[in-house]
Chain A
Amino acid sequence: MLAPLVDRADRTVSVRAFTDPDVFAREQQSVFTHSWLCLGHRSQFKTAGDFIQTRAGTRPMLLCLGDDGAYHAFVNVCSHRGARVCQLESGHTERFVCPYHNWAYNTRGELVGVPRQAPPDFDKSRWGLRRAARVATYGDLIFATFSEQAPPLHDYLGDFRGYLDLLVRSSAAGTELSGGTHRSRVHCNWKLPAEQFGADNWHFQAVHGSLARLGRRNEDPHGDDSFHAYTPQGHMLISVAPRTEFASPYSFYLDELLARGEISAAQRRLLRCTLVMTVFPNLSFVYFPGMCSMRVWHPSAAGETELWSWALHNRDAPAGLKASNRSQVTQLFSPTGMLEQDDLEVWAQLGHNLAAMPPSFRLCYAFGAGDAGRPHAGATAALQSDLPAFEFYQRWAAVLEQEVPA
């Protein structure tokens, strides 16, 4: 009998959660089937027929804006023999025609044509591209789930919506992604970076000591607005308040959002902080005033992950702020980024080391205390606690039990 993947009593997580191919396969049938997964952003679509290639866990996906005005998500895997029906990463089309035998699908994924006269007993309606069960949007983000039983997206996000709103709903004009995507290989299990981006403030001074040393120290780690927050759905946030908020074109823009009534005084206060968050399971953001990177950790194998990331900003932000966001995201949080490089290095070490350890090896999540009772949504903890990350793994283990035939 193997020890549990997540042990509540001694707050440990088994190495198998990060290395075992069987656990990885179960994850695809549970976590990446039951959850709402972020597949794209409204700004990637302009007119009906626009599409992007994306992923839902390991599944290659197409996301299309249909002529009915709805987003349709289906696999980029032909129902006939499994070739890709679409070769380009984005574009505009009325039909996806598979290169292998020219089966043709419309932008809703329905099979609309085969090149030979179909026999009378061939029912085209049965052979559309396999679709996500449901698609829904929240603040311009487009999510899909493969489970009919998943709660509505609104409930899935739960109390965490308040934190997500800071980044994706701070202006009625909405948000947009920079064109183009950063894609890099992360040589470890997807949960380790997802955990870091939601719950690990501790690593900053250590892993990123090089920039911490060159920069100006301005954090106020004990203030009310410096905290971890986590919700029962497995979402988690780190907020680190500055000692002083410096006036900048971005702080003036936030003041303008406040004056226009787009954000509340409480939201304005949190938007002066560094905010790092993960929406369960694999959507993350890192924000500090004037910079915001949005990212998805796509699982490829137990020890391999592909990171896709973008610069995210408000549509109505001044052009100068958008340009500076793009350039800061590139210099700090791209594959060449001065912060990301060091994370990628450490993650490669985790992937390599954990794969070398026996199944009895367990990682320690015992550090740090629980609820700090901060005046913010969700359960809160003081900074430098492993408890929020451990809650993420408890949620993960619970969802892993809900394996569904897919």
Chain B
Amino acid sequence: MIAEVADLLYHEAELLDAGRFDDWLALLALDLRYWAPSRADLARAAEQAGEADRLPLFDEDRDSLTLRVRRLDTGLAWSEIPATRTRRLIGNVRCEAGIGERLRVRSNFLVWRSRSPGGESILAGARHDVWSPAPQWQLHERKIVIDHRTVENLSLLL
């Protein structure tokens, strides 16, 4: 099972790195909740306990992510002209049973980003997903824990 789930996550990373965003949107379930808490310099327990109350870095559903992709298609989204060079490395994949047939999947990521003149940077973090299983593989929930307190321009999908 782990190997199959890891393969799915690698496939997803490949779609995003290649700019195949419509193929990526096809992996998203209609009821998707996709969000990223902002981080705070607090004691670990307090930071975690307050994460839902802090202004998030992403607060999306399938429609808003679709709008983000359509925006890139206008040819006027300057943060991605030309497209940032990205390379996603996905690791530490763990998987357990969720509600019904759904799977809870956790993974870590490093994303290499390169553009001029913005320079080069690495974005690190973890994802806590809920997927409905093969053969459809649909993403229902994704919480992205970004390991940066002050971030560079986040003109990317994770």
Please list the residues of chain A having a beta carbon within 8 angstroms of any beta carbon in chain B. 53, 87-91, 178-185, 187, 207, 209-211, 213-214, 306, 310-311, 326-327, 329-331, 334-336, 338, 341-342, 344-346, 348-349, 351-353
**In this assembly, does B89 line the interface, its C-beta being within 8 Å of a C-beta of chain A?**
no
How close is A15's CB to chain B, nearest CB, in angstroms? 16
| Residues of chain B with a CB closer than 8 A to A180's CB | 37-38, 40, 50, 53-56
B interface secondary structure, majority: loop
**In this assembly, does B41 line the interface, its C-beta being within 8 Å of a C-beta of chain A?**
yes
Q: Which of A185, A327, A342 contacts B59 (CB 8 A)?
A: A327
- Which residues, 71 to 127 on B, are CB-close (under 8 Å) to A? 71-72, 74, 76-79, 117-119
Q: Which of A88, A91, A338 contacts B71 (CB 8 A)?
A: A338
| Residues of chain B with a CB closer than 8 A to A213's CB | 74, 76
Excluding A341-B155, A345-B78, 9 further A-B contacts by CB distance (< 8 Å) are A90-B40, A180-B38, A329-B55, A335-B151, A336-B155, A341-B153, A344-B153, A346-B78, A351-B117
One digit per residue, 1 when the CB lies within 8 angstroms of any chain A CB and 0 when it does not, for chain B 134-158 equals 0000000000000001111111000
Q: Assuming the A-B contacts A330-B57, A348-B118, are A88 and B43 also in contact, with contact meaning beta carbons closer than 8 angstroms in the complex? A: yes
**In this assembly, does B128 line the interface, its C-beta being within 8 Å of a C-beta of chain A?**
no
Interchain CB contact under 8 A, B153 and A335: yes
One digit per residue, 1 when the CB lies within 8 angstroms of any chain A CB and 0 when it does not, for chain B 46-66 equals 100010011111111000100
Q: Assuming the A-B contacts A180-B53, A342-B78, are A330 and B150 also in contact, with contact meaning beta carbons closer than 8 angstroms in the complex? A: no
What are 23 residue pairs bridging A and B, where the CB atoms are less than 8 Å apart in the complex?
A91-B46, A179-B53, A179-B54, A179-B55, A180-B40, A182-B57, A183-B38, A184-B150, A185-B151, A185-B152, A187-B118, A209-B74, A209-B76, A210-B76, A213-B76, A214-B67, A330-B55, A330-B56, A335-B153, A336-B36, A336-B58, A341-B155, A352-B117
Interchain CB contact under 8 A, B50 and A342: no
| Residues of chain A with a CB closer than 8 A to B155's CB | 336, 341, 344-345
| Residues of chain B with a CB closer than 8 A to A338's CB | 67-68, 71
Interchain CB contact under 8 A, A182 and B154: no
Q: Assuming the A-B contacts A179-B54, A326-B59, are A214 and B153 also in contact, with contact meaning beta carbons closer than 8 angstroms in the complex? A: no
> What separation, in Å, do the CA atoms of A349 and B81 have in the docked complex?
12
Please list the residues of chain B having a beta carbon within 8 angstroms of any beta carbon in chain A. 36-38, 40-43, 46, 50, 53-60, 64, 67-68, 70-72, 74, 76-79, 117-119, 149-155
How close is B119's CB to chain A, nearest CB, in angstroms? 8
Interchain CB contact under 8 A, B151 and A184: yes
> What separation, in Å, do the CA atoms of A183 and B64 have in the docked complex?
22
How close is B53's CB to chain A, nearest CB, in angstroms? 5
| Residues of chain A with a CB closer than 8 A to B46's CB | 91
| Residues of chain A with a CB closer than 8 A to B74's CB | 209-210, 213-214
Question: Chain B residue with minimal CB distance to A53?
Answer: B41
| Residues of chain A with a CB closer than 8 A to B38's CB | 180-183
Q: Assuming the A-B contacts A180-B38, A180-B53, A182-B57, are A336 and B76 also in contact, with contact meaning beta carbons closer than 8 angstroms in the complex? A: no
Q: Which of B37, B41, B79, B152 contacts A89 (CB 8 A)?
A: B41
Q: Which of A210, A214, A331 contacts B60 (CB 8 A)?
A: A331
> What separation, in Å, do the CA atoms of A91 and B36 have in the docked complex?
23
Question: Chain A residue with minimal CB distance to B153?
Answer: A344
Q: Which of B55, B117, B150, B154 contacts A341 (CB 8 A)?
A: B154
Interchain CB contact under 8 A, A182 and B118: no
| Residues of chain A with a CB closer than 8 A to B37's CB | 180
| Residues of chain B with a CB closer than 8 A to A349's CB | 117
Closest 4 CB pairs of A and B: A180-B54, A352-B117, A209-B76, A341-B79
> What separation, in Å, do the CA atoms of A346 and B36 have in the docked complex?
25
| Residues of chain A with a CB closer than 8 A to B68's CB | 338
Interchain CB contact under 8 A, A311 and B150: no
> What separation, in Å, do the CA atoms of A184 and B41 have in the docked complex?
15
How close is A84's CB to chain B, nearest CB, in angstroms? 11
Q: Which of A53, A181, A346 contacts B55 (CB 8 A)?
A: A181
| Residues of chain B with a CB closer than 8 A to A90's CB | 40, 42
How close is B8's CB to chain A, nearest CB, in angstroms? 24
> What separation, in Å, do the CA atoms of A213 and B36 have in the docked complex?
27
| Residues of chain A with a CB closer than 8 A to B152's CB | 184-185, 335
Question: Chain B residue with minimal CB distance to A346?
Answer: B78
Q: Which of B58, B71, B118 contacts A330 (CB 8 A)?
A: B58
> What separation, in Å, do the CA atoms of A150 and B53 have in the docked complex?
37
Question: Chain B residue with minimal CB distance to A338?
Answer: B71
| Residues of chain B with a CB closer than 8 A to A310's CB | 55
| Residues of chain B with a CB closer than 8 A to A185's CB | 150-153
How close is B5's CB to chain A, nearest CB, in angstroms? 26
> What separation, in Å, do the CA atoms of A178 and B57 have in the docked complex?
13
Interchain CB contact under 8 A, B41 and A326: no
Q: Assuming the A-B contacts A345-B79, A348-B118, are A182 and B153 also in contact, with contact meaning beta carbons closer than 8 angstroms in the complex? A: no
